[in-house]
């Protein structure tokens, strides 16, 4: 996918060789005033009584630590309910989990949604629907509903960030609610029939681009740099966020009723740092995270966090120059998810093939004329880490923080925030919608994202561990990219303390969901089919292909807890680990072309909007397990 995009932008931008000159314009000092509740442009606000500062990334933030106490208690009851349905024979799961006060036994769950444009977003939406106990019939036999409610963290990258950002911008509705949006106030979301280049059906192309132009121009008038990512982020907002008033900020999620009550996992969105003068993103690029309270990185190069609400304020050396004025509103959710997916703003290079007003075409062309061939996907943020950690921070001398698509270092699954030792995550459900395989079976995962994170962990200087994984050829040759696989079952075979990885690659259960990254429009039927396929990927076709799949998921959740508490592993879990754990076998020969076919030949799976019974499927699954 990255190769395709780089080839595209190399061809399109070849005539434009001028190197982009970054310029930061600061808002002039004036009397502080409260920021309006609407609008895209950042604005000046009265600073809080305790001035915001930059903190060293050697601990979790006070906000996260406080929130975790409430969230962990909320996950206990969802986890007990899920495990009671998982049927782990030989273990009284209610007694084992208890009331959640024993940290030794309480598992800590993370979910990671990969990048990959609309394909990854919809595939990830299917998995989230499968994990959500609000989805109709998701707590029935063979289902995984409740895993979402039992999770502590959910991370998204690029296309995965669209899913995470969209759900949290609406105070975390269920995927099923969004899909049925015509009957509620979510009706304008996830309407992909009109591509992002044309805009929503209720607006003419001229109105759409005029709105975007006015929003971005307002940011310029406020004194801030803008790039192509501002246009891209505003376009994304019309499909994934209520953009009529500019959209909300990511930091405002911290005050949403549901999140304040710790009723949903903590969202984290990922982007990579591009160092000054750097063209290609190395595998050890500094990885930045956005969460409801902060922007920052745990990587040794920066190892610092800034208060997200006040990004754009004039930080220097970790403090503010101006003790009277703060800047708020820079963290517009559309801009955040646009930053995480900035590689995809290549599509705006097609602007001249649309009916957009000429001033929009001229504006975007002007931006493209100012940037070099490898800089079209950049996203400029005011650098809150200016003058901070000068000895290691490669951007310490720059007033701008250049962030790009989180998958440009090939780590297309956002593992990084979830493998931080400070977060003590026990298991990560890695939903992979990457496009790694070539034609004729193009756009399916082959484990590249998992391999990239593993290889980085071998040279990481911050004691981050990750399970051993094989090369991509082995993934394909052994079918590890065609079914769920557990990595890290043997805690001694790790580069350091690490969660267990439950790898869930995109596979055609009920639909050929390997749509091209360059496909920008989908009717509702196509959208629903891809989401449904993602549901089937997560549930193995509602346990059609393994009637014990929910049991095995429960065992995966508990494995690290079993290790900590020195609890004997139940026999049924041993059977699961024998089936799903990678045993270290490798076959690195060149694989035959990967061309999967639909696993479900007829209507053998539930519809998210019209669930049906699975008695026959469950009997078939039992037969398969007994004789496989």
Task: List, for residues 222-272, the tens digit of each pLDDT value.
Answer: 999 888 899 899 999 999 998 877 789 999 999 999 999 999 999 999 999
- Dihedral of the alpha carbons of 391, 392, 397, 399, in degrees to the nearest 10: -140
Region 366-384 average pLDDT? 65
Residue 608 has pLDDT above 80, yes or no: no
Asked if 315 contacts 306 with a C-beta cutoff of 8 angstroms, the reply is: yes
- pLDDT by residue (tens digit) across 463-480? 788 999 999 999 999 999
What does the domain layout of the chain look like in residue ranges?
1-60+194-259+285-407, 70-152+425-628
Residue 368 has pLDDT above 60, yes or no: no
Confidence bin at 27 (pLDDT 50/70/90):
very low
Residue 169 has pLDDT above 90, yes or no: yes
pLDDT, residue 8, reads 31
Residue 526 has pLDDT above 70, yes or no: yes
Is residue 407 helix, strand or coil? coil
- Report the run of H or E that residue 55 belongs to, with start and end: strand 55-56
pLDDT, residue 346, reads 53
- pLDDT by residue (tens digit) across 544-567? 999 999 999 999 999 999 999 999
Runs of H (alpha helix) within 150-246? 159-169, 175-179, 205-221, 228-240
Region 569-596 average pLDDT? 96
Residue 34 has pLDDT above 60, yes or no: no
Strand partners, 295: 290, 306
pTM: 0.89
Percent residues over pLDDT 90 in the chain: 66
Instruction: Kindly list the distances between the CA atom of residue 502 and the CA atoms of 26, 46, 70, 429, 550, in Å, as whole numbers in the listed order.
Output: 46, 46, 26, 5, 13
pLDDT, residue 22, reads 32
Which residue would you say has higher pLDDT here, 501 or 36?
Answer: 501
| Torsions phi, psi for 109 (to 5 deg) | -110, 135
Q: What is the mean pLDDT of the chain?
A: 85
Would you give the DSSP letter of residue 591?
A: P
Residue 615 has pLDDT above 90, yes or no: no
Asked if 543 contacts 617 with a C-beta cutoff of 8 angstroms, the reply is: yes
What would the DSSP string read from start to end of 523-585? -HHHHHHHHHHHHHHHHHHHHTS-TTHHHHHHHHHHHHHHHHHTPPPPHHHHHHHHHHB--S-
pLDDT, residue 627, reads 32
pLDDT, residue 10, reads 35
Is the sign of the CA dihedral 273, 276, 281, 286 positive or negative? negative
Gap between the Cα atoms of 616 and 624, Å rounded: 12
Which residue would you say has higher pLDDT here, 279 or 43?
Answer: 43
Gap between the Cα atoms of 577 and 124, Å rounded: 24
Which residue would you say has higher pLDDT here, 33 or 358?
Answer: 358
- pLDDT by residue (tens digit) across 417-451? 999 999 999 999 999 999 999 999 999 999 999 99
What's the gap between Cα 621 and its chain centre?
32
Gap between the Cα atoms of 209 and 197, Å rounded: 9
Would you give the DSSP letter of residue 354?
A: S
- pLDDT by residue (tens digit) across 264-290? 999 999 999 876 555 556 668 899 999
Asked if 71 contacts 262 with a C-beta cutoff of 8 angstroms, the reply is: yes
């Amino acid at each position: 996918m990255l190769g395709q995009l780089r080839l595209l932008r190399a061809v399109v931008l070849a005539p434009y060789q001028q190197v982009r000159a970054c310029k930061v314009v600061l808002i002039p000092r004036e009397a502080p005033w409260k920021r309006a509740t609407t609008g895209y442009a950042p604005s000046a606000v009265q600073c809080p009584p305790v001035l915001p500062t930059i903190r060293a990334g050697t601990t979790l933030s006070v906000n996260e630590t406080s929130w975790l106490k409430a969230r962990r208690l909320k996950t206990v009851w969802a986890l007990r309910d899920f495990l009671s349905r998982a049927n782990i024979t030989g273990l009284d799961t209610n007694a084992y989990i208890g009331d959640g006060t024993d940290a030794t036994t309480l598992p800590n769950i993370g979910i990671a949604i990969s990048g990959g444009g609309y394909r990854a977003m919809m595939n990830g939406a299917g998995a989230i629907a499968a994990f959500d106990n609000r989805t109709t019939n998701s707590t029935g036999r063979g289902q995984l509903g409740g895993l979402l409610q039992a999770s502590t963290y959910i991370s998204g990258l690029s296309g995965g960030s669209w899913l995470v950002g969209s759900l949290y911008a609406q105070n975390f509705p269920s995927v099923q609610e969004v899909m049925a949006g015509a009957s509620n106030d979510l009706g304008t979301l996830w309407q992909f029939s009109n591509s992002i280049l044309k805009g929503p059906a209720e607006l003419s192309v001229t109105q759409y681009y005029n709105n975007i132009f006015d929003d971005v121009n307002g940011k310029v008038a406020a004194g801030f740099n803008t790039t192509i990512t501002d246009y891209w982020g505003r376009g994304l907002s019309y499909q994934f966020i209520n953009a009529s008033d500019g959209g909300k900020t990511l930091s405002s999620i911290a005050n949403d009723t549901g999140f304040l009550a710790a009723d949903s996992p903590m969202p984290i969105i990922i982007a990579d740092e591009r160092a000054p003068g750097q063209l290609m993103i190395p595998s050890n690029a500094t990885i930045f995270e956005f969460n409801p309270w902060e922007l920052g990185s745990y990587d040794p190069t920066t190892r610092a966090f800034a208060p997200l609400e006040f990004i754009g304020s004039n930080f220097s050396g970790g403090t503010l120059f101006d003790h009277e004025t703060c800047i708020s509103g820079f963290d517009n959710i559309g801009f955040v998810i646009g930053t995480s997916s900035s590689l995809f703003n290549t599509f705006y290079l097609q602007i001249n093939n649309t009916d957009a007003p000429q001033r929009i075409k001229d504006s975007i062309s002007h931006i493209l004329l100012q940037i070099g061939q490898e800089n079209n996907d950049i996203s400029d943020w005011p650098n809150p880490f200016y003058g901070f950690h000068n000895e290691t921070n490669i951007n310490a001398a720059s007033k701008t923080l250049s962030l790009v698509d989180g998958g440009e270092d090939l780590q297309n699954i956002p593992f990084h925030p979830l493998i931080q030792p400070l977060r003590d995550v026990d298991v990560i459900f890695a939903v992979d919608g990457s496009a790694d395989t070539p034609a004729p079976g193009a756009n399916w995962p082959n484990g590249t994202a998992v391999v990239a994170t593993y290889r980085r962990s071998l040279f990481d200087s911050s004691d981050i561990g990750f399970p051993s994984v094989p090369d991509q050829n082995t993934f394909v040759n052994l079918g590890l990219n065609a079914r769920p696989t557990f990595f890290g079952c043997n805690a001694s075979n790790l580069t350091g303390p690490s969660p267990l990885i439950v790898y869930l690659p995109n596979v055609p259960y009920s639909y050929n969901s390997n749509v091209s990254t360059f496909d920008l429009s989908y009717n509702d039927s196509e959208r629903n089919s891809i989401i449904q396929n993602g549901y089937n990927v997560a549930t193995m076709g509602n346990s059609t292909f393994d009637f014990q799949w929910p049991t095995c998921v429960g065992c995966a959740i508990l494995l690290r807890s079993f290790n900590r508490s020195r609890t004997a592993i139940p026999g049924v879990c041993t059977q699961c680990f024998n089936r799903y754990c990678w045993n270290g076998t490798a076959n690195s020969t060149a694989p035959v072309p990967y061309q999967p076919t639909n696993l479900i030949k007829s209507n053998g799976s539930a519809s998210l909007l019209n669930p049906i019974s699975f008695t026959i499927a469950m009997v078939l699954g039992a037969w398969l397990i007994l004789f496989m």
